[in-house]
Amino acid sequence: MANVLEREKQAQIISMLVEGMSIRSVERITRVHRDTIMRLAVRVGQHCQTILDERMRGLSVQYCQCDEIWAYVGKKQRRMIAGDSPEFGDAYTFVAFDQDSKLAICHLVGKRDEGHTHEFMSDLAARVDGHTQISTDGFPCYPAAVMNTFNGRSAYGQIVKSYGGGSTDVAHRYSPAGLLDVRRVGMWGHPRMRYISTSHVERNNLTMRMQMRRFTRLTNAFSKKLANLKAAVALHFAWYNFVRIHRSLGMTPAMAANVTGELWTIDRLIP
């Protein structure tokens, strides 16, 4: 018979992972082999994706912000060579975010291209009821995707940022380029201009980088398989929506959005 981790030990491991600890750090603390930890994380992450698919439905969202956050699988895109797995290279996580409840409505891990953008928007449209205002950055694949999936159920605006003047000094090589200009552009549906923004979803990007080790920049932490990355993201958003109390709300985003009436525990995320 296979050796199965006790439920309490499973919850301890998952709690450490969602708080941003690496697989090897969890291994050292819990004395559970890293392969066992990874298998548990994938199993729980797949279960969390099922929870999100079932629960994130029929949502009423007044202002929805969408953005993408970069990571990579196996190796960075510039290191790719002929014969590498198509899963390797850049992997972007698209996120739809409710400005008011701070709920992560849906997400998609894939390439930053037209096909995945349309798939992401189609999923979002299936989860949101009624009319909503959507804000995105200036990524050119968004307008057609929003138009084709929401069919007049949205007002849509883009916030277009122009950057430049990045430092060439070695000491500042990792500093972001300077922000030159920000423009709000109403695309269609008469959006309220003051609410065309991606500030909240961009702040959520920071939460993702802090709470998922494989998203942390300038480290040796990265996903070896696409399935591992997808499971980690699903686990994070299930924990973020249902378990983690948002400081500005005093409750979880799922409670604020009336998706659930109670605070969940980590144990509820484990199948």
What are the residue ranges spanned by the domains of the chain?
7-269
Pairing of strands 132-136, 63-73: parallel
Pick from 108, 27, 31, 47: nearest CA to 239: 47
Q: Is the pLDDT of residue 258 over 70?
A: yes
Question: Which pLDDT score, from 0 to 100, does residue 170 have?
Answer: 61
Q: How far is CA 242 from the centre of its chain?
A: 15
Is 7-269 a domain of CATH 1.10.540.10? no
Please tell me what DSSP assigns to residue 74. S
- Provide the residue type at 65 as one letter: Q
Q: Is the pLDDT of residue 1 over 50?
A: no
The model's pLDDT over 144-200, given as tens digits with 9 standing for 90+, comes to 999 999 988 999 999 998 887 655 566 666 677 787 888 999 999 999 999 999 999
Pairing of strands 89-98, 104-110: antiparallel
Percent over 90 (pLDDT), the chain = 87
Q: 30-36: long-range contacts (C-beta < 8 A, 24 or more apart)?
A: 32/5, 36/5
User: Could you give the 3-state DSSP secondary structure of residue 140?
Assistant: coil
Question: Which pLDDT score, from 0 to 100, does residue 163 have?
Answer: 81
The model's pLDDT over 48-98, given as tens digits with 9 standing for 90+, comes to 999 999 999 999 999 999 999 999 999 999 999 999 999 999 999 999 999
- pTM of this structure: 0.92
CB count within 10 Å of CB 53 equals 13
Q: Which of 2-6, 76-80, 124-128 shows the lowest mean pLDDT across its residues?
A: 2-6
Question: Which pLDDT score, from 0 to 100, does residue 178 have?
Answer: 80
Task: Output the average pLDDT for the chain.
Answer: 93
Question: Which pLDDT score, from 0 to 100, does residue 179 have?
Answer: 79
Question: Which pLDDT score, from 0 to 100, does residue 220 have?
Answer: 85
